[in-house]
Amino acid sequence: MATCSQPQLNQILYEQDFYLWIQTTAQLLKERRFEEVEWSNLIEEIESMGRSEKKELKSRLIVLIEHLLKLMYWESEKAYNARGWRNTVVEQRRQICLSLEDSPSLRSLLVDMFRDSYHIAREDTLQKYQLSSNLFPLDPPFTLEDVLNSDYLPQ
């Protein structure tokens, strides 16, 4: 009867019990038993974590921009919804700030994703609420610095 090597067992764990695979892999690394680590899945998961961080940052930036746009331009709903929109702006800024505290290197990605995030936020908001396409400008009416600045809050 053939027996499985530790990396083969780790591959089975990865496929059948992800949490146990993480715990086992962490223990192998702590004990410096590198030859027993199933490297390809470990590398894939580390890369995936980086993609998740980037995706969350962009998602929060999009939501933040959506609410800034509504505060700036959607006058007919402003009286009823401004408080909630402002709350969302504050919360998204805080979450972005927390992400940047944990991973300062993400800050440079914000610059790269700002314009695309603006266009997504604009289009999503127009579609969600079936608004006129000329309600929001095609180009951002604010800078990334404005968006992230806690003192910048359109009335």
Mean of pLDDT values over 134-141: 96
Give pLDDT, residue 7.
Answer: 64
In a domain, 19, yes or no: yes
Cα angle vertex 93, ends 135, 144, to 5°? Answer: 60
Q: Within this chain, do residues 126 and 93 fall inside the same structural domain, yes or no?
A: yes
What is the extent of the structural domain holding 11?
Answer: 6-36
Q: 16 or 81, which is more confident?
A: 81
Average pLDDT value over all residues in the chain: 90
Mean of pLDDT values over 97-123: 94
Residue 37 has pLDDT above 90, yes or no: no
Measure CA of the first residue to CA of the last residue in the chain; give whole Å.
Answer: 74
Alpha carbons 93 and 91: distance in angstroms, whole number: 5
What pTM did the predictor assign? 0.80
Q: Within this chain, do residues 68 and 30 fall inside the same structural domain, yes or no?
A: no
Kindly indicate the confidence band of residue 1, based on its pLDDT and cuts at 50, 70 and 90: very low
Q: Read off the pLDDT of residues 7-23 as tens digits, 9 standing for 90 and up.
A: 677 777 777 788 888 89
Residue 24 has pLDDT above 80, yes or no: yes
Q: Within this chain, do residues 65 and 129 fall inside the same structural domain, yes or no?
A: yes
Rank 2-6, 18-22, 99-103 by mean pLDDT and report only the highest: 99-103
Q: Which of 87, 2, 78, 8 is nearest to 40 (CA)?
A: 8
Q: Distances in Å between the alpha carbon of 16 and those of 35, 37, 42?
A: 21, 17, 15
Q: Within this chain, do residues 16 and 65 fall inside the same structural domain, yes or no?
A: no
Residues of the chain with pLDDT > 70: what percent? 95
Report the number of distinct structural domains present in the chain: 2
Kindly indicate the confidence band of residue 84, based on its pLDDT and cuts at 50, 70 and 90: very high
Residue 51 has pLDDT above 60, yes or no: yes
Kindly indicate the confidence band of residue 4, based on its pLDDT and cuts at 50, 70 and 90: low
In a domain, 41, yes or no: no
Residue 89 has pLDDT above 90, yes or no: yes
In a domain, 67, yes or no: yes
Q: Which of 112, 129, 110, 113 is nearest to 66 (CA)?
A: 129
Give pLDDT, residue 3.
Answer: 59
Any idea what DSSP says for residue 55? H
Alpha carbons 63 and 137: distance in angstroms, whole number: 17
Q: Within this chain, do residues 30 and 56 fall inside the same structural domain, yes or no?
A: no
